[in-house]
């Protein structure tokens, strides 16, 4: 059987192919030379399986899509507080005014506009590092998201330098307000090199999947940045990634995203997928016309939207069985299932708190549970602790080890078994 | 055993209790009389179980927290397109300028600021309905979210009318720009009544849980508004709910929310929980000081953040068993688990597309699956269709009916069983 | 001989008559009924001689042209400080945002936009006066500028009330920010009556001439408001009178002006002329299209521009004559001419300070001087004082009394004569 | 006798000397070294007589006060239209946003903020001139206003270059928007040299007097720029010269002005005076604290305010004499006086149009007239023409030649005499 997903992606591209609105960016000769008909999409599962359609292996310069990743590196290297002191997180509203800083703080409003991205560039790597070292950190860091070493397109880089007036303006202004401390033209030169890294649409999907996967590159398995950094980056992409229409993007697409002037769009839906799209013609906001359409289709067809939660986890507590053992012993075994986060663990706690007394033993059957996050783990262990202190013998049935090393505190550790078995009969003194 | 959650909530309140920053709203005498020390929190699971701490049963006026609900009613009654023609979805930036309309469209920027909320008020109920009917629609609609009939606090309502200057200004401006067609003072009078509905912190949690639960009130089971309406409302709450700092709220708390001048905050995390908080002292943005702190604590402690996805659903395809049946028949049974959305269904499709040929029968074991959303359903059925066209006999093992009425198109319908059993041996002609 | 000025004005109107750009204001039915072809101009000398062309005796409602006059009345009745505390003097930039107040002070930006004009309306007359009294003060005050009792057009007034939404919005907002203290709808009702006063183009010219004439109505001779008030009003008209293009108006026309939605424009050039123009079709700023063209023509043709100073007053000191009198007495008579302000008086002081010593008597011949302002008077008298203290006998030749009651201080009073005559010979003891 | 003006200026300085508010500009080390106690004022009559007090001969760098003069040079060299295509004339409102351009046109808002001044710098001299030539044009041009060759302070120039970040930002932005075409850093380098020209307070007064004198340097007599250029420059200084409070400056001081970061202020009142002030401590707008106070004093004490017109010119027509000549001939001689602009000439026309018929000859006695501007000249000649065509013999009595070469058109030329004398008796055929 062939997977229907590539066919589906082919169909999505076919549906958008006739839309020739917009224009290729022409402020840089090398960009203006892009084939306007290029069209590609790639979707990566959070385990790194990639589905592709169109010119998904063609290389183009990453441009502004480098911004969230360099922001991520800055957060990783300097810490959230230090980065927030230099760059805000608010949508900027007007594209035209993109040189402006927040009144009062004199910070760039967010890292997704050039003024913030130039600042983020200077915050990658350790403080005071030479520019060569910082640039290598950036190339290596973005490459780690992609899972392969990326190269600079030197021709585009040279071409962009010739028309870098606005970025030079921004960098000098940042220097004037002491937001950056480096020599302004050098920062611009390196930033342009950053933007000239070559990626494919497939790369974008894998880079996005790394974000969707909590910072772990799904193919290499490398934890590129921490979950906390990913959360911050995805949050900022949500409100600031698609320029001056945050609300419109969140309501209609609902996928944290970033676009670039080459016509690429990258989207990452936490826990679900990474998406890459390419089509060089841009709308007046600077977003790829067909790229936006593809994202809207994927969101609508596939239910990929931040607000489209999984069906409520009400069945985390699947039920209970009463077992009768030797010597009139009885056990109540609670059966759990699914992915346990707060909501699921709450079901467990709720169910146990309301079950009738009278059973010697309590079993928690985790056989059908496939993952337990940290708050759910804490809640299960607290439940174990309380039940034990209430005089119950507690057993975890956990054949796959989803709750490893179950130390409930106060010296309480439940028995762990693969399938139910009666424990030793309680001695007279227990 | 007592649930640890109420204890946790008590502790959260204790930690915030000493923060006496901010001031009770004083522009209305009746609001100024609120006890500044009031403090309450309530958290509702999406099945309607509510955990509470503090003064969670005290009633206060709903104020601006009515906005997302009346917006939801307008969307339900007039349709998304008609409402978007009148009210935008972009963050407004400046609180001070809240009388302003979008240039060009002359729409209020979003329904969470007064100018948009007054407009949304006029869009509830059928077009042309008398104001009494419209108001009853609003009371009944908000009450449906709460799961009980809410009442107006007539004293607050009268008190607010005396200082309704700014709302009168807004309504007259809306009338001047033909955004509303009704008599401006009457709209303000009714809007003030809407804001004077009495709720408790517990009510807020249940109203929020209704949003988190896809529009279904978890206690009454009523589908108050559609999933599409909920998605729109939660999206707008994300970017516009907490006034002029959308980016800050999304990064630090990450829960779609709305605050009110009485000191309430309502937060809804899709698929997880509804939250209500009350503390009357407000910061300069008009948000409850301790309310914000409580939300930050809950988000951090409980991993409640839009970008904190469930652990990746990579294990949706649990594995496969090869069964050998009578007459050298062999079957390959794929075992699925968990909540199936796009990502999980993709695992299934991926796994099946890559399994070796050579088995007469293919089984899809859904025993451990607890829900299947529409895109996952389509993908599973497409898989069934392709396997069947490839010559396989396909059987669904679905003891709980998570995939009811499995029509794969082209006349293909798989066999459905509760546990594996060999089908009739294929006839010679099949 | 017929004056060429009316012919010139006829020609100016003929040149503009074909311009049919713009549209009559249509937000009020009664205004929309105006004949779009109406065209009139009137120019009043500061002595009240009026030259007219076109429909200069047709009546129309004064609308926004009432604003500078009611501002003048407020300044007269409450004093400049009290009025500045409520209304700023800065150009507002955007017409669209006209509801906004200055951040910080919460003042309307200036009295020429509606938000400031409504505020100025409430500041006319004594504090706390009943609204009937205040309205009578306004009618009487504006009438005093026109030199005849003006009447309200009740039909327009009623018609405007039906579409007064935006003014109601503004008034409620002003009430909300406590800029005004009265009942908002009543203020709007009275303000609309103020705007409905009927004037002719000829009236506008005379009202403007009153401003150009230092506050003295040239026909009635009444000092309607003080010079200080006039200076403030003309200053504000210069930067705020023609809506959102202060710089453009000052550079190209250079006449303090105010336009109204009926199509009138009033311009006042201090010391020179008052101008009234009427043509109902408005440009997108709300200014009369042909009215603006007429003003541009008048400014260009007639050198009527604030920056077109009179030819430098370097000849204020015309020269000196040495006279030889009886008994070898000699006198030096300085001959002055023209209008003496600072610059002219400086010439006198300069000339006298540098004349050679040796003359018993000094004469200041003011025969050719036609006016002396207060600073010039002080400088002449100080010169007289110093010359006297230096031992000179000083005589003023002032046949027309342009320097009445010449008390130079320190007991010094010069002799005043109509034509030169030798004084009494100094006694031996002097 | 000593002139009282220097004493008055001394007193003004004494009154302000104790005000030590504000701070010396410190962004450039060389500027920070200025003596904060420096205080100087100079007032120049339009004939070049200068009155001074304080450190009026100390040199400091001209800084932003160069802006109106370089704007004047650009207007002179490229024409008003070409310059307006690149630089607007509207007040900019916010100092903070000074990098912004007008939406739509992408022009700097005005030439008094840096973004406009850098642009004006590139428009001095002929298009395409080498930068050395352009810079020499600028030095020579500003020097011509001062009446002496100015020199660059090389130390300040070097010092400013080290902190020129913001100007570099602006220049790169201008280059990016194609407002300027030159290499951005070179433009900034030259602009900084322009700002480093050394002037004294006395120089400022004379430069201002050149503007007040219609572009003629009063000492050298050179017409530095045309009257039209001066009108444009003074208009822009009026609305944009003192940064972000145009209305406040126009109402309280009413003198077109420009300030600089060294603490200088230059003010020019057309036809009256040029003013220079120096005091290095600046307020938050960047204007000299004591400099502003001095200007306010001079305006208030000396009646120096744009809106303080000369006493109305109603006496331009002084009166008429009827003369009886030989052979029962009679003449009516109209006697004029003062400076004739439109208003005065209108008096003449008015008077003549209303005088009774019956006189053979009409005389216009210009003996007491000291200047006639172009519109007044046209009106007088038109009057002559009409009287002649009506059959009158017209004689101009113009001993000082204020109306040279009186060609009235249609072949009409009046007789010109120094004092009245009867012309030849009309022949029988005339």
Which domain CATH number covers C285?
3.40.710.10
**pLDDT tens, C7-32?**
889 999 999 999 999 999 988 888 88
Interface probe, candidates B114, B162, B169, chain C, greatest C C-beta count within 10 A = B169
Does a structural domain hold residue A200?
Answer: yes
SS3 D268: strand
**pLDDT tens, D135-178?**
999 999 999 999 999 999 999 999 999 889 999 999 999 998 89
Comparing B141 with B332, which gets the higher pLDDT? B141
All chains having 3 or more CB pairs closer than 8 angstroms to chain B: A, C
Encode burial over D283-294: b for 16+ CB neighbours within 10 A, e otherwise.
beebbbbbbbbb
Q: Are strands D50-54 and D40-45 parallel, antiparallel or unpaired?
A: antiparallel
Confidence of residue B255 (pLDDT cuts 50, 70, 90): very high
Burial level of B353, CB count in 10 A (0-12/13-18/19+)? middle
- In angstroms, the CA A304 to CA A255 distance is 7
Does a structural domain hold residue A250?
Answer: yes
pTM equals 0.85
Encode burial over A193-208: b for 16+ CB neighbours within 10 A, e otherwise.
bbbbbbbbbbbbbbbb
SS3 B318: strand
Q: Same domain, yes or no, for B239 and B356?
A: no
Q: Which of C66, C216, C237 is nearest to C152 (CA)?
A: C66
Position D28 scores a pLDDT of 82
Does a structural domain hold residue C207?
Answer: yes
The tokens describing B39, both together, are 């403090």
Q: What is the mean pLDDT of residues A266-293?
A: 93
Position D271 scores a pLDDT of 84
CB A17 within 8 A of CB A43: no
Interchain CB distance below 8 Å, A184 and D176: no
The last residue of one of the domains, among B282, B302, B322, is B302
CB B125 within 8 A of CB B134: yes
Minimum distance, in Å, between the CA of residue D160 and any CA atom of chain C: 31
Confidence of residue D424 (pLDDT cuts 50, 70, 90): confident
For residue C326, pLDDT over 50 is answered with yes
The half-sphere exposure of D318 on its side-chain side, counting CA atoms within 13 A, is 22
Confidence of residue A1 (pLDDT cuts 50, 70, 90): low
β partners of residue C372: C340
Kindly compute the dihedral angle of the four CA atoms of residues C291, C297, C303, C304, in this order, to the nearest 10 degrees: 0
Q: What is the mean pLDDT of residues D246-268?
A: 93
Interchain CB distance below 8 Å, C168 and B168: yes
For residue B40, pLDDT over 70 is answered with yes
B23 vs B32, B33, B265, CA distance in Å? 9, 12, 16
- Residue holding tokens 């972000």? D244
Q: Same domain, yes or no, for C277 and C398?
A: no
Residue A247 neighbours by CB under 8 Å, 6+ apart: B88, B89, B90, B91, B110, B235, B236, B239, B240
The last residue of one of the domains, among A259, A282, A302, is A302
Q: Same domain, yes or no, for B171 and B33?
A: yes
Does a structural domain hold residue C72?
Answer: yes
Q: What is the mean pLDDT of residues A212-230?
A: 95
Q: Which CATH number characterizes residue A357's domain? A: 3.30.750.24
SS3 C320: strand
Per mean pLDDT, which range of B255-269, D94-108, D112-126 is the poorest? Answer: D94-108
Residue B46 neighbours by CB under 8 Å, 6+ apart: A312, A313, A314, A343, B209, B212, B213, B218, B271, B272, B273, B274
**pLDDT tens, A81-129?**
999 999 999 887 654 346 677 777 789 989 999 999 999 999 999 999 9
Q: What is the 3-state secondary structure (H, E, C) of C373-404?
A: CHHHHHHHHHHHHHHHHCCCEEEEECCCCCCC
Q: Which of A9, A21, A12 is nearest to A287 (CA)?
A: A21
Question: Considering only alpha carbons, which residue of chain C is nearest residue B96?
Answer: C103
Q: Which of D90, D18, D23, D12 is nearest to D56 (CA)?
A: D12
Out of B2, B89, B307, closest to residue A251 by CB: B89
Domain of C14, in residue numbers? 4-302
Burial level of D420, CB count in 10 A (0-12/13-18/19+)? middle
Interface probe, candidates B42, B267, B343, chain A, greatest A C-beta count within 10 A = B343
**pLDDT tens, D291-320?**
999 999 999 888 888 888 665 444 567 777
Catalytic residue among A24, A56, A71, A191: A191
SS3 A110: coil
Q: Same domain, yes or no, for C365 and C237?
A: no
All chains having 3 or more CB pairs closer than 8 angstroms to chain D: A, C
- Residue holding tokens 């059966």? A335
Kindly compute the dihedral angle of the four CA atoms of residues B39, B44, B50, B51, in this order, to the nearest 10 degrees: -50
Does a structural domain hold residue C168?
Answer: yes
Interchain CB distance below 8 Å, B303 and A235: no
Does a structural domain hold residue A119?
Answer: yes
Interface residues of B toward C, Cβ cutoff 8 Å, are 96-97, 99-100, 103, 163, 165-166, 168-173, 175-176, 184
Position C423 scores a pLDDT of 77
- In angstroms, the CA C27 to CA C20 distance is 19
Chain A residues closer than 8 Å to B318 by CB: 370
Element (H, E) at C317: strand C317-324
The half-sphere exposure of A324 on its side-chain side, counting CA atoms within 13 A, is 2
Catalytic residues of D: 64, 67, 191, 243, 261
CB B65 within 8 A of CB B259: yes
Q: Same domain, yes or no, for D56 and D165?
A: yes
DSSP state of C355: S
Out of A91, A302, A346, closest to residue B91 by CB: A91
Q: Same domain, yes or no, for B284 and B337?
A: no
Minimum distance, in Å, between the CA of residue B302 and any CA atom of chain A: 6
Highest averaged pLDDT of the listed ranges A4-18, C138-152, D16-30, D365-379: C138-152
Q: Same domain, yes or no, for C40 and C129?
A: yes
For residue A312, pLDDT over 60 is answered with no
Chain D residues closer than 8 Å to C349 by CB: 3-5
Per mean pLDDT, which range of A308-312, B371-375, D54-58, D406-410 is the poorest? Answer: A308-312
SS3 B42: strand
Minimum distance, in Å, between the CA of residue A410 and any CA atom of chain B: 16
Radius of gyration of chain A (CA): 26
Q: What is the mean pLDDT of residues C54-67?
A: 97
Out of B247, B337, B352, closest to residue A236 by CB: B247
**pLDDT tens, A135-186?**
999 999 999 999 999 999 999 999 999 889 999 999 999 998 899 999 999 9
Radius of gyration of chain B (CA): 26
Q: Is B373 annotated as a binding residue?
A: no
D142 vs B73, C386, D73, D83, CA distance in Å? 69, 39, 8, 18
Q: Same domain, yes or no, for A225 and A363?
A: no
- Asked casually if ipTM beats, i.e. exceeds, 0.95, the reply is no
For residue B271, pLDDT over 60 is answered with yes
Encode burial over D172-183: b for 16+ CB neighbours within 10 A, e otherwise.
bbbbbeebbebe
Beta strands in D177-249 (DSSP E): 198-200
Minimum distance, in Å, between the CA of residue A94 and any CA atom of chain B: 11
Does a structural domain hold residue D396?
Answer: yes
Q: Are strands D361-372 and D393-397 parallel, antiparallel or unpaired?
A: parallel
Position B278 scores a pLDDT of 98
Q: Same domain, yes or no, for D322 and D280?
A: no
Interchain CB distance below 8 Å, C168 and B165: no
Q: Same domain, yes or no, for B24 and B103?
A: yes
Q: Residues of C marked as binding for substrate? A: 64, 114, 160, 167, 191, 243, 261
All chains having 3 or more CB pairs closer than 8 angstroms to chain C: B, D
The half-sphere exposure of C1 on its side-chain side, counting CA atoms within 13 A, is 26
- Cβ neighbours, 10 Å, residue D80: 15
Position D96 scores a pLDDT of 39
SS3 A102: coil
The tokens describing A156, both together, are 């585009």
Minimum distance, in Å, between the CA of residue C364 and any CA atom of chain D: 15
User: Cα dihedral sign for D351, D353, D354, D357?
Assistant: positive
What is the share, in percent, of chain B residues with pLDDT greater than 70?
94
Q: Same domain, yes or no, for C333 and C287?
A: no
Does a structural domain hold residue B424?
Answer: no
- The end-to-end CA distance of chain A, in Å, is 60
Minimum distance, in Å, between the CA of residue A257 and any CA atom of chain B: 13
Position D371 scores a pLDDT of 78
Is C159 assigned a catalytic role?
A: no
Backbone dihedral angles phi then psi of residue A343, each to the nearest 5 degrees: -60, -40
Chain A residues closer than 8 Å to D184 by CB: 165, 168
Q: Which of B160, B284, B147, B152 is nearest to B216 (CA)?
A: B147
Q: Is B243 annotated as a binding residue?
A: yes
Interchain CB distance below 8 Å, C100 and B103: no
Encode burial over C109-135: b for 16+ CB neighbours within 10 A, e otherwise.
bbbbbbbbbbbbbbbbbeeeeeeeebb
- In angstroms, the CA B298 to CA B265 distance is 13
Chain A residues closer than 8 Å to B91 by CB: 91, 239, 246-247
Q: Packing angle between helix A131-146 and helix A184-195, nearest 10 degrees?
A: 20
CB A145 within 8 A of CB A233: no
Interface residues of D toward A, Cβ cutoff 8 Å, are 96-97, 99-100, 103, 163, 165-166, 168-173, 175-176, 184
Position C93 scores a pLDDT of 62
Radius of gyration of chain D (CA): 26
Separation of CA A398 from chain center = 30
Confidence of residue C310 (pLDDT cuts 50, 70, 90): low
C208 vs C46, C83, C92, D401, CA distance in Å? 9, 22, 23, 35
Touching, C vs A (3+ Cβ pairs under 8 A): no
Is A243 assigned a catalytic role?
A: yes
Q: Are strands D361-372 and D330-340 parallel, antiparallel or unpaired?
A: parallel
The last residue of one of the domains, among C302, C328, C361, is C302
Q: Same domain, yes or no, for C274 and C320?
A: no
**What is the pLDDT of chain B when averaged over all its residues?**
89
The number of domains in chain A is 2
Per mean pLDDT, which range of A2-16, A376-390, D14-28, D83-97 is the poorest? Answer: D83-97
Q: Which of D128, D125, D179, D156 is nearest to D63 (CA)?
A: D156
């Amino acid at each position: 059987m062939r997977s229907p997903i590539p066919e589906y992606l082919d169909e999505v591209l076919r549906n958008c192919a006739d839309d020739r609105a917009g224009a290729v960016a022409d402020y840089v000769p090398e960009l203006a030379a892009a084939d306007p008909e290029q069209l590609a999409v790639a979707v990566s599962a959070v385990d790194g399986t990639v589905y592709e359609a169109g010119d998904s292996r063609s290389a183009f310069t990453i441009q502004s899509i480098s911004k969230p990743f360099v922001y991520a590196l800055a957060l990783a290297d300097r810490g959230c507080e230090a980065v927030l002191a230099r760059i805000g997180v608010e949508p900027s509203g007007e594209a035209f005014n993109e040189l402006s800083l927040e009144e009062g703080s004199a910070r760039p409003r967010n890292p997704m506009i050039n003024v913030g991205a130039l600042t983020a560039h200077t915050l990658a790597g350790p403080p005071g590092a030479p520019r060569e070292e910082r640039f290598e950190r950036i190339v290596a860091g973005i490459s780690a998201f992609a899972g392969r070493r990326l190269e600079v397109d030197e021709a585009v880089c040279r071409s962009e330098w010739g028309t870098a007036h606005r970025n030079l303006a921004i960098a000098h202004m940042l220097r004037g307000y002491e937001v950056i401390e480096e020599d302004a033209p050098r920062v611009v030169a390196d930033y342009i090199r950053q933007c000239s890294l070559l990626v494919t649409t497939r790369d974008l999907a894998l880079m996005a999947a790394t974000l969707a996967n909590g910072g772990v590159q799904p193919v290499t398995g490398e934890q590129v940045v921490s979950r906390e950094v990913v959360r911050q980056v995805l949050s900022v992409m949500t409100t600031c990634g698609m320029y001056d229409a945050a609300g419109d993007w969140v309501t209609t697409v609902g996928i944290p995203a970033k676009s670039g002037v080459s016509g690429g769009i990258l989207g990452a839906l936490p826990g679900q997928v990474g998406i890459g799209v390419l089509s060089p013609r841009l709308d007046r906001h600077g977003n790829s016309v067909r790229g936006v359409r593809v994202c809207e289709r994927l969101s609508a067809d596939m239910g990929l939207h931040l607000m489209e939660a999984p069906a409520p986890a009400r069945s985390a507590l699947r039920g209970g069985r009463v077992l009768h053992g030797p010597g009139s012993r009885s056990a109540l075994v609670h059966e759990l299932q699914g992915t346990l986060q707060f909501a699921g663990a709450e079901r467990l706690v709720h169910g146990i708190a309301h079950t009738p007394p009278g059973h010697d033993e309590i079993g928690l059957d985790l056989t059908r549970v496939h993952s337990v996050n940290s708050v759910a783990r804490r809640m299960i262990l607290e439940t174990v602790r309380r039940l034990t202190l209430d005089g119950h013998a507690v057993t975890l049935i956990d054949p796959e080890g989803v709750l490893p090393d179950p130390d409930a505190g106060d010296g309480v550790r439940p028995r762990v078994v693969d399938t139910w078995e009666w424990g030793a009969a309680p001695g007279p003194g227990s």
